[in-house]
Amino acid sequence: MECVAACDKKAVVHGMVEEIITLDIGSVILTPGFEEYDAKLKGEYGFNRYQNVLTSVQFERMLSAAGPMEGMSYAGVTARKPKE
């Protein structure tokens, strides 16, 4: 349980259960860069206003095999790969 105590964001919740959410996704915008950028400086993208706006570091963690989604990216509740 040391990970719970060490996480400042309180992101580790061992009692979570699976939840299926239906989303209507209009677009995905990827803007990777060489250096980490403070996304709060570009308010028009909605970082910290919309749940689905991520920084490149957050997106990389999501796609990591050791991350919260175990390296998988899903499109909606059908669990199919996003269109390329």
CA distance readout (Å), 77 to 20, 64, 66, 67, 82: 6, 20, 22, 20, 12
Q: Tell whether 40 is covered by a domain.
A: yes
Judged against a pLDDT cut of 50, whether residue 84 lies above it is answered with no
Tally of domains in the chain? 1
- The rounded distance, in Å, linking the Cα atoms of 82 and 71 is 14
Tell me which residue range forms the domain holding 78: 20-84
Higher pLDDT residue, 38 or 31?
38
Q: What is the pLDDT of residues 36-76, one digit of tens each?
A: 778 888 788 788 887 777 777 777 777 777 766 666 665 44
**Of all residues in the chain, what percent carry a pLDDT higher than 70?**
75
Tokens describing residue 79: 């669990």
The arithmetic mean of pLDDT across residues 17-42, rounded, is 80
**Better-scored residue on pLDDT, 25 or 14:** 14
* 61 occurs within a structural domain: yes
